[in-house]
Chains A and B, each alone.
Chain A
Amino acid sequence: MLVPLIRTLILYFVIIFSMRFMGKRQVGEMQPAELVITILISAVASVPMQDIELPLVHGIIPIITLVSAEVIISTLSLKHPKLRKLISGSPITIIRDGNIDQKAMQTLRITIDDLLEDLRLKDVYDLRTVRLAQMETNGRLSVMINSADLPPSAKDLRIKPSPSEPFNVIISDGQLADTSYASPQKSKWLHSVIGTNGAHEIKDVFLLAYDGESNIIFAKKEN
């Protein structure tokens, strides 16, 4: 019982270290080669975790080899565009000026339903408004809308909206998230905000966020 536990812990740290070493990427942003390596690492690691008759090295060495190869190849592909194209492929244009390239869709083996779904996820409901849509090497669709169909920006309207600051979470689920508000001066302000919004203490607050100006998002904790 102890042996699988220790072996699993060792492999866990090896995998965590390996994934960190490979670099930070979300699953959806992975290139095909990276996705294959991630799947391979999880598959390779699971065998010595379960089979204690197998030396642990038989799980660690393939992981080190895969990660090293990935780092070396990806570094080389940074410097050599041809290698990058060979490994990752290149973006394929599916829609140009509202017209669907059916051959490109056949090459990519995606259906019209898949394409429309991807467009809807990009808030595009009218194909005619698409200037350019490309399937990226990581499998995501990037869409460029016709300038005439885009909503006007503040720049287009020649207005100057007041600059907004991002909200900073001060209290999260009854806990002080921003410790700078523990200082006496800020604490006084914080408690006055809590009192104004009908709560008594920090633990009564579910969310308190402040943009540094005059805007506050407040949510009282439900019992």
Chain B
Amino acid sequence: MKIRLAAAILAFISAITLGIICTVYTDRLCTQISSDIESAAQNYDYNALHSTKQHWDKKVPILSAFVPHEHIDEVTEILSRALAFLQNDDHTEFDAEISCVMHQLYIISTYDTPTLRALF
């Protein structure tokens, strides 16, 4: 009985710990990606944005373990579109896409944060 109770408490604590780790990881990654995108967008720097997207693509498999895939795919798609607009010097469309991706990253970063909005 004691072993079962200890295992249950351990599982419960592990679930909480895993939840906190996932939230912190997602928040840090999204903050970093957002800041990279922002600096690349300010200078309309294609190479910087391209390397940011590559960095994002590398993190997608880890992020997919705890964030709904549709949110992640949305960011990947917007970044691809933004890169295409930047390559064609369409800055108006590019700025719009950047605005969208920043919002989408905010949604991902706050997705698992236990806020009132998320809880109810």
Residue positions of A touching B, CB distance < 8 A: 21, 52-58, 61, 64-65, 67-69, 71-72, 75, 78
Chain A at the B interface: SS class = helix
Q: Give, as a whole number of angstroms, the nearest-CB distance from B41 to chain A.
A: 28
Q: Give, as a whole number of angstroms, the nearest-CB distance from A60 to chain B.
A: 9
B5 interface hit (Cβ, 8 Å):
yes
When the two chains form the complex, which single residue of A55, A56, A71 contacts B67, counting CB atoms closer than 8 Å? A55
Contact call B68/A64, Cβ cutoff below 8 A:
no
- Chain B neighbourhood of A71, CB < 8 A: 4-5, 7-8
Q: Give, as a whole number of angstroms, the nearest-CB distance from A33 to chain B.
A: 14
When the two chains form the complex, which single residue of A52, A65, A68, A78 contacts B9, counting CB atoms closer than 8 Å? A68
- Chain A neighbourhood of B14, CB < 8 A: 64
Contact call B18/A61, Cβ cutoff below 8 A:
yes
Given A64-B15, A67-B11, A68-B11: A57 and B65 within 8 A (CB)? yes
Contact call A21/B66, Cβ cutoff below 8 A:
no
- Chain A neighbourhood of B68, CB < 8 A: 53-55, 58
Report how many residues on chain B are interfacial, defined by Cβ distance under 8 Å.
20
Smallest Cβ-Cβ distance to A52: which chain B residue:
B69
When the two chains form the complex, which single residue of B4, B11, B66, B70 contacts A57, counting CB atoms closer than 8 Å? B66
Contact call A21/B4, Cβ cutoff below 8 A:
yes
B118 interface hit (Cβ, 8 Å):
no
* CA A164 to CA B49, docked complex, whole Å: 84
B1 interface hit (Cβ, 8 Å):
yes
- Chain A neighbourhood of B64, CB < 8 A: 55
- Chain A neighbourhood of B7, CB < 8 A: 21, 71
Q: Give, as a whole number of angstroms, the nearest-CB distance from A90 to chain B.
A: 23
Contact call B12/A69, Cβ cutoff below 8 A:
yes
- Chain B neighbourhood of A68, CB < 8 A: 8-9, 11-12, 15
B114 interface hit (Cβ, 8 Å):
no
- Chain B neighbourhood of A69, CB < 8 A: 12
When the two chains form the complex, which single residue of A21, A53, A67 contacts B69, counting CB atoms closer than 8 Å? A53
- Chain B neighbourhood of A55, CB < 8 A: 64-69
- Chain B neighbourhood of A53, CB < 8 A: 68-70
- Chain A neighbourhood of B19, CB < 8 A: 61
Extra contacts, 10 of them, besides A57-B66, A65-B12 (Cβ < 8 A), are A21-B4, A52-B69, A57-B22, A58-B66, A58-B68, A65-B15, A68-B12, A69-B12, A71-B4, A71-B7
